[in-house]
Structure formats: C-alpha cells, structure tokens
Amino acid sequence: MTKSSNALRTIAKTSLKLVRDLLKTREGETVAITCDTESDWAFVSSVEEAAISIGAKPLVIRTKAPPYVGRAAEPFLPIDSLVGAVAESDVWIELNGKWLLYSKVWEEAMKRNRTRYMCLVGMNIDMANSCVGNVDVAKVLEFQRRIQKITERSRSMHYTTPGGTDVRFENDTKRPVLVEGDVSGPGEYMLLGQVDWAPLEETINGTIAFDGSVNPPDELGLLKKPIKLEVRNGRVVRVHGGREATIYEKWLKSLNDENMYELAHLSYGCNPGAKLTGNVLEDERIWGVLEWGLGNQSGTFRARDIRAISHSDGITLKPTLEGDGQLIIKDGKFVHPDLLGFSMSMK
C-alpha cells in the first residue's frame, strides 16, 4: 500500500470518528458542513463521505472567505441562505477558515435549539489526525472533567507566565465550567481538548501576555514577541509590546466596537495531540496552555453576555496557575493532586 493510500485511510477513520463518535450523528440525520475558500477541501470531502457512510444526509455549503469573522463577516456572505440551511439541520460542522461563530447564522441555529454545532474553524487533515484521530477520546474527556471539578470549586485565581502575564481574578461558582467535545444534545460545542469558563469580568486585573499566537487578525498568527494587554476590571486599557502589538491594537480599533476590549472567557488547553501552528483552533488546545478570548461572549457561559462585532483569541504559554492558593498548573504542566498520575494515551 502506498503512502498516499495510507493517508487516505487514516483521514477516513478520523472523519468517521469525528462525525459518528464525537458529534453522535445518526442514520437519517441532516448534516450541514460549512466551509469557505480558505478551508481544507480534502478534509471537507472526507467529512462528507463519513456522513454518507453512516446513512446521514450531508449538505456541503462553500462560500468565499470574508475578510472578517463573526458579525463583522455578515455583509460579505449570503447570510439568510446560510441560516435556512444550517438552522434546520440536525448537525452543523463548521470547517470555515473565517468563522461563522457569533454571526447571525450561529445565533439563529442556537435560538432554534435543534442543531448540534461544533466549531472546527480552520481544521485541516493534519490537525484532525493529531487532535481527533490519534487521541483516546474517553481519556481526554475524563481528564477534562477532573479539571472542570477543580475549577468549579476554585474562587480566587492567579497566574503568571515567563512571557509577562501576571493576572488575578475571581470565579462565580454558579457559572458553568464547560468540557468541550462532550456532545450531549442541541447546542454549541468546541473541539475536544479544551475546558473553558467566564471569570467574573469586573475582577480581572493585571497583565495578560499573549506569547504563543493570536487570531484574528490574519497578519499575526505565531508571535515573535509577546503582545501585552493591561487589564482593568475585565477590560483591556492598553496594548503594548512591539510591532505585533501595534498590529493587534490597530485591528481592534478598526472594528469600531468598544466591546472588543472586553475579556469574554478563559480556557485550559488539554489535547495531547495539539501543536503550536498558528491556527488558533489547535493552539488553544496545546497541553498546559491558557487562552483568553476577547469580544463577543457566548451565552453558554451564562455570564455578562457581551455582544461584540467579532472575537479574538490569544495563547499564553507555560503558565503557572493557582486556584485558592493551590497549584493547578506549574510552568505549563498540570500538577494538581487530582491530575497527577493520570495516564494520557495517544492511541
């Protein structure tokens, strides 16, 4: 068997695992697969074939990639047509390069409470194999649930990074801590290997230094120097750190939306297959990173419900995180007693 034949067999298995095992797609269900001109077409086709193989009814919708994401992308897309196709589907797999998450398409799909949606923006064959095909889903979900329980009972948090992060905040124990990739019914889900929540926004104070990657804007991706955000009461009041920080600040200003400076959520990365590539979907799942989202805030966090024209995510590497004075992560390694000794198999 040739190398290319092996690769085709591998991605076929990964796509089936994604469609059948993660999204729990059943025979006869409609599956909307959205993508754009920045998507990995070979992977899109493989996901379509996986849906067909289990007797589902896929609909692939491809558009030209807009220059923005979220609500800012709407003027460049056939929004009403997308709403009609996606919101009436049982499953929606988003493989767009420029995400529809937080746009009218997503809002309508979530409002109708019919669709199981998974955000897989920018996913390609390599990422799919690394982060889905080659990981033990059950073990990753169990690890995520352990982190979830630790975070649910942690009120005061503090973390630092070698790149310059030094930030403190409080959690509201009534707000949910989300285990991504665990699909249970209609609603919004993200790729396996992430646990996220929204701290009490007004308590977030200090410096957050993005030193892994940032997206959007497209001009950034992998960072050469940290982008430092000075945060006061959950709002970015200053961006500094060099050329890349200037690009980021200019992009934020260009959106003309003050809510883009609000911190929306925080996430642990815990997918053993994820690598730092510049693609935020994979980067925010790297084992032991912490990631902040700015701008629009999903209603699933049951927080302030910040409404913004777009959203941006930034990665902080090798964090040391304490919850109520107890170490959870040290230098990018999970060290909490409830996490030690947990075997993470890639197979």
pLDDT in tens, 85-100: 999 999 999 999 999 9
Instruction: Give the integer Cα–Cα distance in Å for 34 and 32.
Output: 6
Q: Is there a single domain that holds both residue 8 and residue 27? A: yes
Which residues in 20-30 are b (16+ Cβ under 10 Å) and which e?
bebbebeeebb
Which residues in 314-341 are b (16+ Cβ under 10 Å) and which e?
bbbbbbbbbbeeeebbeebebebeebee
Query: Is residue 342 a part of any domain in this protein?
Result: no
Average pLDDT over residues 197-221: 96
Instruction: Give me 229's structure tokens.
Output: 């955000």
Query: Is residue 87 a part of any domain in this protein?
Result: yes
The number of folded domains in the chain is 2
Mind giving me the DSSP string for 22-80? Answer: IS---TT-EEEEEEETTS-HHHHHHHHHHHHHTT-EEEEEEEPPPSS-GGGGGGGS-HH
Average pLDDT over residues 266-289: 96
Mean pLDDT, rounded, of the chain: 94
Query: Is residue 255 a part of any domain in this protein?
Result: yes
Q: Is there a single domain that holds both residue 146 and residue 280? A: yes
Q: Is there a single domain that holds both residue 165 and residue 286? A: yes
Residue found under tokens 């269900």: 29
Which residues in 99-117 are b (16+ Cβ under 10 Å) and which e?
bbbbbbbbbbbbeeeebbb
pLDDT of residue 17: 97
pLDDT of residue 3: 47
Of 131, 147, 167, which residue is a domain's last? 131
Query: Is residue 187 a part of any domain in this protein?
Result: no
Q: Mind listing the pLDDT tens digit for each residue in 101-144?
A: 999 999 999 999 999 999 999 999 999 999 999 999 999 999 99
Query: Is residue 345 a part of any domain in this protein?
Result: no
Query: Is residue 88 a part of any domain in this protein?
Result: yes
Q: Is there a single domain that holds both residue 121 and residue 153? A: no
Average pLDDT over residues 25-51: 97
Average pLDDT over residues 288-307: 95
pTM of the model as a whole: 0.92
Residue 184, amino acid = S
Q: Is there a single domain that holds both residue 101 and residue 127? A: yes
Q: Is there a single domain that holds both residue 111 and residue 152? A: no
Query: Is residue 340 a part of any domain in this protein?
Result: no
Task: Name the DSSP letter for residue 346.
Answer: -
In contact, 32 and 92? CB cutoff 8 Å:
yes
Q: Is there a single domain that holds both residue 159 and residue 122? A: no
Q: Is there a single domain that holds both residue 154 and residue 268? A: yes
In contact, 36 and 63? CB cutoff 8 Å:
yes
Q: Is there a single domain that holds both residue 118 and residue 149? A: no
Q: Is there a single domain that holds both residue 173 and residue 102? A: no
Q: Is there a single domain that holds both residue 162 and residue 289? A: yes
pLDDT of residue 340: 86
Q: Is there a single domain that holds both residue 173 and residue 39? A: no
Owning domain of residue 36: 3-131
pLDDT of residue 347: 43
Residue found under tokens 């990964």: 14
